[in-house]
Amino acid sequence: MRNETARIRDRAKSERAAFRRHSKEPEWDVVQDRILNPLVELRQKVREELARMDDKDALVPIDRDPVPRKFEDLVRRYYKKLGEGD
């Protein structure tokens, strides 16, 4: 996570330097894709890590990877069928 933080910070510094050098408004879609979105993802990772560290008696593991979107329906049907108990 530290490396990811450093990469995001370097991107932000680069955008700021370009802004100062050329005095033109940044391309906001690039800022969102290269800085804002990665920061949001990093914040979520930090929250999950802190939750894992705080709650040693959690009944459900917090560290499971999310299901890829293309498999969400299959996984939902699997657990539904599993719960029916054939």
Q: Quick: pLDDT tens for 12-36.
A: 999 899 888 988 888 899 899 999 9
Of 7-11, 23-27, 37-41, 61-65, give the lowest mean pLDDT range.
Answer: 61-65
pLDDT at 63 over 70: no
Residue 37 has pLDDT above 70, yes or no: yes
What is the average pLDDT score of the chain? 84
- By CB atoms closer than 10 A (0-12, 13-18, 19+), residue 71 is exposed
For the residues of 48-84, what is the DSSP string, one character each?
A: HHHHHHH-TT-SS-S-PPPPPGGGHHHHHHHHHHHHH
What confidence score (pLDDT) does residue 5 get? 92
DSSP 25: -
CA–CA distance, 6 with 71 (Å, rounded to integer): 33
